[in-house]
A and B are shown apart, each in its own frame.
Chain A
Amino acid sequence: MNHHAFKLTLPILFGYIPLGMAFGVLFTTQLDYPWWIAPLMGLVIYAGAGQILAVSLLAANAGLVEVAVAMFVLNARHLFYGLSLLGQFRGAGWRKAYLIFGLTDETYSLLTSRPRSANREQEQHVDFRITAMNQGYWIVGCTLGAVLGKTVAFNSTGIEFALVALFIVLTIEQLKALGDSFPVWAGAAAAALAMMLVPATHQLIAGIVLVTAVLLLHYRKYRTDTMAGDANRG
């Protein structure tokens, strides 16, 4: 089972090590802080884009209110992620706080896509292990980048595509599991609109707000349809 969880997180390993390193390198080259601050940020903040933003905020000596607002806005897409996991995390005890803390894009993707048995407690243990492994990879990446700094020599250009590939694979898996392509097209269309209309830093949240609104309308239609179906059957 450990092996099973590890296999699920392998794509995250290939994505998080280079991305964590990119953050670490940026951190040591831009700032004058000790190297271990970089993995510390990976441990307590744990947000890819958020930490990269943090480097520029630190370099600019930004005010703390500004920091709070910027971090909240940048990560606002996470506001919607928990909705899919309310039931799964219920009754997870002390693990629940960590499961919520560790809900990055990639962990959310794995946890909402993987097959689950009826044994919720056991599944929560697996969720916990997946979350911890992912954060472990991220911290290793942050550490390597910060320690090695500019001396990073091996040519890993392009390895971060593993995360794009992971999102593609999970889209296909979601499509097969749902048997309904509507949310996939809605998500892709929302992304396209957001990319055309808003600057890069706000595209994810704009897209997610948009597609959530579309799903609300979809819910009304879906409900009317199912009710009509039930009425016909009854």
Chain B
Amino acid sequence: MGESSYLAAFIAISALATFATRVVPFLFFEKHTEHPLVKHIGRFLPAAVMALLATVFLQRSADWQAQAPGADALIPALLVVAVHLWRRNALLSIAAGTAAYMAIQQSGIL
């Protein structure tokens, strides 16, 4: 196989495999949209996945070898929570936390 046809096949297969993971629930559960179990999972899963993503990516953003392990990401994360509970403005909370994280990372103070 030539290099450009390998690349074309590679991209097509990657695209199909990725799309397959996203389309499966719609192919197999469409008929069961009103089933109480599917509704239950559909209702509670987003909150669980959000907490899971926040936990995993927060852990990965932090430096656990630092003097104060994890503080470089945990402080901005707490700031996000505090600002969000205070003003409940998503953009403000995200901007505050991101600015704090960038300042900490770029200055290397922690």
Are chains A and B native binding partners rather than an unrelated pairing? yes
CA distance A173 to B91 in the complex (A): 13
Task: Please state if B102 and A215 are interface contacts (CB–CB under 8 Å).
Answer: no
Give every chain A residue within 8 A of B18 (Cβ-Cβ).
45-47, 50, 71-72, 75, 78
Choose from A58, A83, A162 the contact partner of B94 (Cβ within 8 Å). Answer: A162
Closest CB-CB distance, A117 to chain B, in whole Å? 18
A93-112 CB contact bits vs B (8 Å, 1 = yes)?
00010001101010011001
Contact of B13 among A46, A64, A167 (CB under 8 A): A64
* B24 x A168 contact (CB < 8 A): no
Interface of B is mostly: helix
Instruction: Please give the distance in Å from B36's CB to the nearest CB on chain A.
Output: 7
Contacts of B61 in A (CB 8 A): 160-161, 164
Tell me the total A-B contact number using a CB cutoff of 8 A.
268
Contacts of A183 in B (CB 8 A): 44-45, 47-48, 51
Q: Are B41 and A215 closer than 8 Å at their CB atoms?
A: yes
Q: Number of residues in B with C-beta < 8 Å to the partner?
A: 66
Within 195-209 of A, Cβ neighbours of B (below 8 Å) are at 195, 200, 203-204, 207-208
Contact check, B57 vs A174: say whether CB atoms are below 8 A apart.
Answer: no
For A, the interface residue count at a CB cutoff of 8 angstroms equals 97
In the complex, the answer to whether A68 meets B80 with C-beta atoms within 8 Å is: no
Q: A82-B26, A207-B56 are in contact. Are A178 and B44 (CB under 8 A)?
A: yes
Contact across chains for A86 and B94 when beta carbons are under 8 A apart: no
Known: A164-B57, A190-B48. A76 touches B21 (CB 8 A): yes
In the bound complex, what is the Cα–Cα distance between A195 and B58 (angstroms)?
A: 12
Residues 39-56 of B, flagged 1 when their CB comes within 8 A of A and 0 if not, give 011111111111111111
> Given the interface contacts A72-B17, A174-B46, A215-B40, does A40 sit within 8 Å of B25 by beta carbon?
no
A residues sitting closer than 8 Å to B (CB atoms) are 7, 10-11, 14, 33, 37, 40-41, 44-47, 50-51, 54, 57-58, 61, 64, 67-69, 71-72, 75-87, 89-90, 96, 100-101, 103, 105, 108-109, 112-113, 155-175, 178, 180, 182-188, 190-192, 194-195, 200, 203-204, 207-208, 211-212, 214-216, 218-219, 222-223
Q: Residues on B close to A: CB < 8 A?
A: 6-7, 9-26, 29-30, 33, 36-38, 40-61, 73, 76-77, 80-81, 84-85, 90-91, 93-94, 97-98, 101-102, 104-106
| Cβ contacts A to B, 7 pairs, < 8 Å | A37-B11, A86-B29, A113-B46, A157-B102, A167-B50, A168-B84, A200-B60
